[in-house]
Amino acid sequence: MADIRTESVEYPANGVPGMGYLARPDDDAPHPGVIVIQEWWGLDDHIKDVARRFAREGFIALAPDLYHGEFATEPDEARKLAMNMNREQAMKDLSGSVAYLKAIPGVAPKKLGCIGFCMGGSLTLALAVASPDIAAAAPFYAGMQPPAEQLAKIEAEIFAAFGADDAGIPLDNVRKFEQALAEHGRSARVKVYDGAPHSFFNDTRPSFRPEAAQDAWEQSLALFRRVLA
């Protein structure tokens, strides 16, 4: 297993300091960069672990802290944090994280990958709309997708993962999203995992489904390695 190093970082986010968790291989070689966007729980141990997984796979991964030091362990707390999050400021934090990650000397190429989960999956798509620096995007169970007309702005290649048993995201919505991507000529693959509920990737929750999580992880890695090579 590759040695990695981690640190908490701050970066400019349109006049307000952004915060994040950076994980990278413990060497001076160039590596592709990936933004890891939190679930509604916040920048918790699971999201930090995902960043470390990317580092062990040869990426420099930055997980922005969109709650600025707060995180939740119970759904009611998470719901409150998510509802109180200023989405406009969150997008500024994400744009700042993109600029910060690109500026790290070891990050090459300067096109980035982005992966996010639940709320973070929706923000992954929003960031792909907003930033041409995102070349590959892997939104997991993104309940909110951009309006169809905004999909044409996405330059990133997409792998989108959903659970067939996700009570919060109707399959009809997933299929409409898939159709809209195709109609706008986006390079995208949408995969629905049988028997998988919402948040099937999170191995700290009862919703975890190992087989679906492993396949979605491998699909995301393959996308990032190919596009960011």
Catalytic-residue membership of 114: no
Catalytic-residue membership of 133: no
Options 93, 114, 118, 133, the catalytic residue: 118
Catalytic-residue membership of 166: yes
DSSP the chain: ---EEEEEEEEEETTEEEEEEEEEESSSS-B-EEEEE--TTBS-HHHHHHHHHHHHTT-EEEEE-TTTT-B-SSHHHHHHHHHHS-HHHHHHHHHHHHHHHHHSTTB-SSSEEEEEETHHHHHHHHHHHH-TTEEEEEEES-SS---HHHHTT--SEEEEEEETT-TTS-HHHHHHHHHHHHHTT--EEEEEETT--TTTT-TTSTT--HHHHHHHHHHHHHHHHHH--
Options 166, 172, 184, 215, the catalytic residue: 166
Options 46, 65, 93, 198, the catalytic residue: 198
Residues designated as active site: 118, 166, 198
